[in-house]
Homo-oligomer: A and B are copies of this chain.
Amino acid sequence: MAVTDEAIEKIKGMIVSGALRPGDRLPKESELASELGLSRNSLREAVRALSLIRILDVRQGDGTYVTSLDPQLLLEAMSFVVDFHRDDTVLEFLAVRRILEPAATAMAASRISEQQIDALSAQLDKLGDSPSVEELVACDLDFHRGIVQSSGNSVLCSLLDGLSGPTTRARIWRGLTQEDAVSRTLHEHRAILAALRDRDGEAARSWATVHIASVEQWLRSTL
């Protein structure tokens, strides 16, 4: 195994074993390099790799730190990975979302606060009659994220956030310019909110399923 890979494993080991805790600062590059028995260049490759997946946080002029290791932060790296997938696997990602999102929405029904529902509702109202694609994407993302956050499961939340990555979603919306599709989507969003307001988990689950399925159906007919 290459020295860089060894270094990655060793640093991982230090974190998993608890020798390094979230927020801790690593020894400076030159010291850590000699501790692990490799050159600074090779160590930097290891640190850079761990930094890409949000395990380490490198601050120039300051030092290198272990991140908070929050699920939210770590799974954020997943959206980077999702971006690489080609169109032919988008449907599979959507199928997974179709499983997770209704469940998350149902969970949110018993936990979401009135204020949050009001806020989400207000945001929908704010969207004009002919919003731009960028506005639609941002609104859609916020809407679903807002609800899923109320599921109380941060892993679930991050996972869905990654699955519905900006690229994928933008790609979907880009072709979704038909007027009726937009209005239907907004209508479904309102229906989900209404179910949440009624604390009706099953209705919320069903509307979420319908919502995702309609996108899925449209996408399947287009591809």
Closest to A75 in B: B81
Contacts of A69 in B (CB 8 A): 84-86
Given the complex of chains A and B, what is the CA–CA distance between A12 and B52 in angstroms? Answer: 13
- Is chain A's interface secondary structure helix, strand, loop, or mixed overall? helix
Q: Does A170 reach chain B (CB closer than 8 Å)?
A: no
Within 8 A of B (CB), among A50-85: 50-53, 55, 60, 69, 71, 74-75, 77-78, 80-81, 83-85
In the complex, which residues of chain B have a beta carbon less than 8 angstroms from the beta carbon of A95?
153, 155-156
Q: A45-B48, A48-B49, A99-B100 are in contact. Are A92 and B71 (CB under 8 A)?
A: yes
A interface, size bucket: 35 or more
Instruction: Chain B residues near A154: list those with CB within 8 A.
Output: 89, 92
A143 at interface (Cβ–Cβ under 8 A)? no
Please state the number of chain copies in the assembly. Answer: 2
A186 nearest CB across to chain B (Å): 27
Q: Which residue of B lies closest to A2 (CB)?
A: B60
Q: For A46, what are the chain B residues with a Cβ–Cβ distance below 8 Å?
A: 48
CA distance A154 to B48 in the complex (A): 29
**Given A55-B84, A81-B75, A84-B55, is A89 in contact with B155 using a C-beta cutoff of 8 Å?**
yes
- Kindly provide the distance from the CB of A101 to the nearest chain B CB, expressed in whole angstroms: 10
Shortest beta-carbon distance, A50 to chain B, in Å?
8
Beyond known contacts A77-B81, A99-B100, A159-B159: 4 more, CB 8 A cutoff: A16-B83, A16-B84, A74-B85, A78-B78
Chain B residues near A50 (CB, 8 Å)?
Answer: 52
Shortest Cβ distance from A72 into chain B, in angstroms? 10
Interchain nearest-CB distance for A202 vs B (Å): 15
Q: Is A38 an interface residue (CB 8 A)?
A: no
Query: Residue among A15, A53, A78, A84 with the most chain B CB within 10 A?
Result: A84
> Mask for A80-123, Cβ within 8 A of B = 1, else 0?
11011110010011011001100100000000000000000000
